[in-house]
Amino acid sequence: MPNTVIIGSGSYVPENEIDGSHFSEAVFYDDNNQLIEKPTGEIIQKFVDITEIEKRRYASPEDFNSDLGYRAALEAIEDAGIDKEDIDYIIYATNFGEVDVNGIPNFMPSLSARLKGKLGIKRRDCINYDMIFGCPGWVESLILADTMIKAGKAKTILVVGGETLSRVTDPYDRNKMIFADGAGAVVVTATEDSTVGVLADRTLCDNGEELCYLENGPSLNLDHDQSQLFIRMRGRKIYEYALKNVPDSIKATIEKANLDIADISKVLIHQANAKMDYAMIGRLFKLYGQKEYDHAISPMTIQQFGNSSVATVPTLFDLIRKGKMEGQSFTPGSHILFTSVGAGMNINCVVYKFPEGKI
């Protein structure tokens, strides 16, 4: 049975850097639709203290999700050194599709179809899929790509995650300061070496009361147009859910690969809140009887890039792989984890091993 290895990666981080001053004139409401009386500067600082997000990136008005995905995908294809016509499938992870500057999502045609067109791929049996799976969408796309390769349905697949979340946030919700825009991509291909590449994966979906933890809803300001829907996030519920479920799921995936936490060199985790990520990784190590861990094992970009949803993990992977994150690198032959949690609620994890002598 073939296995799945990454042969190229790319990412696009928009140039527009947004710091706290961007929100200095904002008026915020709470989840009970009541005006928050605290000074805006105090609200912004408390937000930074909890999430560590000081800056985030927004796409230019003329750019769409598929434009961001195109730039990341083109870089990944060039990095892989392949002919784009050799791509069998394109899987594009997104949650809102092609959002315009008015915040209206558009899924027809699909993001993956738009991307195929922009790449100029003429091959008719290059099939395009969109993956709508919350923030875990890119990791789940990688899992799907691996499944298709192992099943012999494909040899080479382009896996993309892109989002323009800045266009779907409630202007009166403090949580809008979390979200950002960006895109990341990898090219994966089949290998006959079963000891490298994707070694194990695990996905869990809790879709009962958890459905309301992350969903679309009207503005918190009842005087604002209530027909338009925005991201609505119940932070405390998500924090409790993630802390209870994610570490156990990661541990189960490591065990599925017949490994121990000591075998893992990096944990690339989806980032929505630095405090939550520290807590999840800390609890993971406690499951192995370790109270302390080296924070370098779980590098983060959230402080400068914000939460770009499906783009966060592949962007982080690409930056480290290409030596663009100070103090961070991958080692040939090492094991890393891709893991995420998000709307659904959905959790997933992948254990990946780099081939010897090549990253």
Q: What is the mean pLDDT of residues 231-237?
A: 91
Query: Residue 45: is its pLDDT beyond 90?
Result: yes
What is the pLDDT at residue 173?
95
What is the pLDDT at residue 85?
98
pTM (2 d.p.) = 0.94
Query: Residue 235: is its pLDDT beyond 90?
Result: no
Q: What is the mean pLDDT of residues 234-243?
A: 92
Query: Residue 273: is its pLDDT beyond 90?
Result: no
Query: Residue 359: is its pLDDT beyond 90?
Result: no
The C-alpha atoms of residue 26 and residue 78 are separated, in whole angstroms, by 42
With a pLDDT cut of 90, the percent of the chain lying above it is: 91
Burial of 156 per CB tally in 10 Å (0-12, 13-18, 19+): buried
What is the pLDDT at residue 67?
98
Strands in 3-12's sheet, in edge-to-edge order, are 3-12, 181-191, 156-164, 89-93, 127-131
What is the pLDDT at residue 1?
85
Q: Which residues contact 301 (CB under 8 A, 6 or more apart)?
A: 271, 312, 315, 316, 319, 325
pLDDT band at 102 (very low <50, low <70, confident <90, very high): confident
More confidently predicted of 272 and 44: 44
Residue where the block lists tokens 């792989």: 321
CATH superfamily for domain 3-191: Thiolase/Chalcone synthase (3.40.47.10)
Query: Residue 357: is its pLDDT beyond 90?
Result: no
What is the pLDDT at residue 91?
98
What is the pLDDT at residue 272?
85
Mean per-residue pLDDT of the chain? 95
Q: What is the mean pLDDT of residues 160-174?
A: 96
Fold of 197-353: Peroxisomal Thiolase; Chain A, domain 1 (3.40.47)
The C-alpha atoms of residue 264 and residue 43 are separated, in whole angstroms, by 38
Q: Where in the chain is the domain with CATH 3.40.47.10?
A: 3-191, 197-353
Residue 111: which of 137, 89, 90 has the closest Cα? 90
Query: Residue 330: is its pLDDT beyond 90?
Result: yes
More confidently predicted of 104 and 138: 138
Q: Are 167 and 230 in contact (CB under 8 A)?
A: no
- Bridge partners of 129, per DSSP, are 91
Q: What is the mean pLDDT of residues 156-163?
A: 98
Q: What is the mean pLDDT of residues 93-111?
A: 93
Q: Are 202 and 249 in contact (CB under 8 A)?
A: yes
